[in-house]
Amino acid sequence: MCSRKWEWCSALELLLLPFLVTGIPDHSEKITSVSGNNVTLQSSKKLLGNYTHSTWFYTTNQKIVEWDSSDVNYFNTRFKHRVRLDPRSTALHIYNVQKEDSSTYLLRVSNEGGSEYEINIILEVFDPVPEFLIELKEVKKVGDNCYLNLSCEIQNQSVDYVWYTDSGIFPNGHKRSVLEVNLTSSHKQSTFYTCQVSNPVSSQNDTVYFRPPCTLVRSSGVMNIINWLVTLIPIIPVLLLT
């Protein structure tokens, strides 16, 4: 049933194993996928009996496909050319899944006797986290200290943020895209800050290094401007005085 093309199929079977063994009554399962993949939504209930009717719903009031022993009817949804029903197993193959396909899918199956059951499958689709560079929102000398406001915010995506520094995960560095720190003059060595952004399907990170008192060490296109500004700032008052 699971051909090699459907990479998520075996992952799904692993997911389903506990349900098959323990027979959880509400048959609610969850699948996580990266956008662009092919996904198979498959009932974990192996003993379907001789059902004569099956319907897949995207939401409780939007049907994707219906089957009744003679034919398969694909409804005019945005799935129309991206789904295929295997009537024998009731598996629903969805090609090229998109973020917007995330939903709680419902499979309703009934037999001649009129008995009916339903299965929920939660599908969550994520875009891979894009590559990013830490943005230096503000870098300035405050007395002997160096104030840093660093951001690695990713727009329009549900992601987790973790900031690391020399000593490991930054205190309060969890869940926040913005990191504010004061590098005190007691820092004798350069310090790095890494922002790691992840979601269930992928992860990216970027690192900046600061050398005391307030110099960005990493050189990469955009960042050089800030580096230049940071070194320029102390010069400005000197220019004004002359």
Ligand X SMILES: *[C@@H]1O[C@H](CO)[C@@H](O)[C@H](O)[C@H]1NC(C)=O
Binding site for ligand X (CB under 6 A): 5, 36-38, 49-50, 95, 137, 142, 147, 149, 151, 155-156, 164, 178, 180-182, 194, 196, 205
Nearer to ligand X among residue 5 and residue 80 (C-beta): 5
Q: How far is the CB of 39 from ligand X (least distance, A)?
A: 9
List the helix and strand counts (H, then E) for the chain. 3, 17
User: What per-residue string of b and e applies to 117-151 under the rule 16 or more CB within 10 Å gives b?
Assistant: eebebebbbbbebeebebbbeebeeeeebbebebb
Alpha-carbon dihedral sign for residues 72, 74, 80, 83? negative
The rounded Cα 150 to chain-centroid distance in angstroms is 22
Nearer to ligand X among residue 110 and residue 149 (C-beta): 149
CB 139 within 8 A of CB 230: yes
Nearer to ligand X among residue 47 and residue 238 (C-beta): 47
Q: How far is the CB of 111 from ligand X (least distance, A)?
A: 8
* CA–CA distances in Å: residue 219 to residues 142, 224, 225: 23, 6, 10
Q: How far is the CB of 206 from ligand X (least distance, A)?
A: 8
Q: How far is the CB of 239 from ligand X (least distance, A)?
A: 26
Nearer to ligand X among residue 60 and residue 96 (C-beta): 96
The rounded Cα 181 to chain-centroid distance in angstroms is 28
Q: How far is the CB of 36 from ligand X (least distance, A)?
A: 6
* CA–CA distances in Å: residue 226 to residues 131, 218, 236: 20, 11, 15
Nearer to ligand X among residue 106 and residue 129 (C-beta): 129
User: What per-residue string of b and e applies to 78-116 under the rule 16 or more CB within 10 Å gives b?
Assistant: ebeebbebeeeebbbbbeebeeebbeebbbbbbeeeeee
Q: How far is the CB of 198 from ligand X (least distance, A)?
A: 8
Nearer to ligand X among residue 4 and residue 188 (C-beta): 4
